[in-house]
Structure 1
Amino acid sequence: MRQPDIEIYLKDADHKAIAAWLGQAIGAVSEWRQQGQTYKCRAGEVPVTWLPKAVGKWHSLYLESDATPWADDLACARAAFAALNMEVRCAPGGWDEEESVETADRWIRISSDGEEEIIWRTD
C-alpha cells in the first residue's frame, strides 16, 4: 500500500546533493527557500522539506505527496542509499501517533553493512 508521504533520515548529506538526486528521480527541482531552520523546494510536483540536524547529525527529508516513484519510506531509503552511498534510516512502515513508544523506536538502517532493523531513540 502506498504511503501518503515519505520521510527518511540521512547522515552527512546536504540539501544540494539531495536536490541533484531528487532531480534525477522525480523531476526538476526548484530553488531552495529557507524558512527558519528548514529548507523547502519542489521536485516535479512534490513539495519537499529538508530539516538539517533534525535528530543529532541526522537530516530529515520529507516528501509531502504520494506521487513519488516510491511506495513507502523503505523504498525511498533504499533508492537514496543506492544513489548517494550514505547511511539512511527510515521507519519500517507507516507511522501512527497511536503507536507505543517501543514500536516508534523501531527503525530500518541501510548502510554499507546492509539493511537491518535497529532501535533508535530519537527523543
Structure 2
Amino acid sequence: MRQPDIEIYLKEAVTYKDVAKWLSTVLGTCSEWKQKGQVWKCTAGNVPVTWMPKAVGKWNSLFLESDQTPWDDDIACARDAFKALNVEVRCAPGSWEEAQGEDDADRWIRVSADGEEEITWRTGS
C-alpha cells in the first residue's frame, strides 16, 4: 500500500541544494527554496518538500508531503536517494503510529554502501 507521504533522513554531507538537483530529475523542477525558521521549503513538480537540516543530530530530514511520488514507501525513496546522492540514508521500515509504542519507533532501515539493513536508532532524547 502506498504511503500518504515520504520521510527519509540523509547524513550531514548532503545539502538541500544537492537534494533539489536529484528531486528535479524525478519529481520535476524545484521552486525557489524559502527558509521558514529551521526548515527550508520548496515544491518539486507538484510535491511540497520540507528540508530540516540536523533534524536528528547530524542527520537531515527530507519530507515529501504527497502520495504522488514515484515511490510507494520510504524505503524505495531511500534506495533512490542513496543511488543518486551516494550518502547514507535512514528511514522507518513502514508507517509508524504512536500507538505502536516506543520500541517500534527505534526500528529503522539503513541504506548505505554496505547495503540495506534494519538497525536500532534511538532518535528520542
Which consecutive residues of structure 2, in runs of 5 or more, have no partner in the other structure? Answer: none
Identity in percent: 67
Q: How does 1:4-83 map to 2 (within 5 A)?
A: 4-11=4-11, 12-83=13-84
Task: Supply the distance in 2 between the matched residues of 1:72 and 1:94 (Cα, whole angstroms).
Answer: 9
Task: Supply the distance in 2 between the matched residues of 1:111 and 1:42 (Cα, whole angstroms).
Answer: 27
Structure 1 stretches of at least 4 aligned residues deviating more than 4 Å after TM superposition: none
Structure 2 length-normalised TM: 0.97
Partner SS for 2:32: coil
Partner SS for 2:103: helix
Task: Supply the distance in 2 between the matched residues of 1:53 and 1:99 (Cα, whole angstroms).
Answer: 26
Structure 1 length-normalised TM: 0.99
Cα displacement (A) at 1:52:
0.1
Match of 1:3 in 2: 3
Name the amino acid aligned to 1:84: L
Task: Supply the distance in 1 between the matched residues of 2:66 and 2:99 (Cα, whole angstroms).
Answer: 22
Deviations 1:44-103 (A, max 9, x none): 000000000000000000000000010000000000001111000000011112111111
Task: Supply the distance in 1 between the matched residues of 2:69 and 2:96 (Cα, whole angstroms).
Answer: 18
Query: Root-mean-square deviation (CA), in Å?
Result: 0.5
**Structure 1 residue 122 corresponds to structure 2 residue 123:** yes
Task: Supply the distance in 2 between the matched residues of 1:69 and 1:99 (Cα, whole angstroms).
Answer: 27
**Structure 1 residue 100 corresponds to structure 2 residue 94:** no
Name the amino acid aligned to 2:100: E
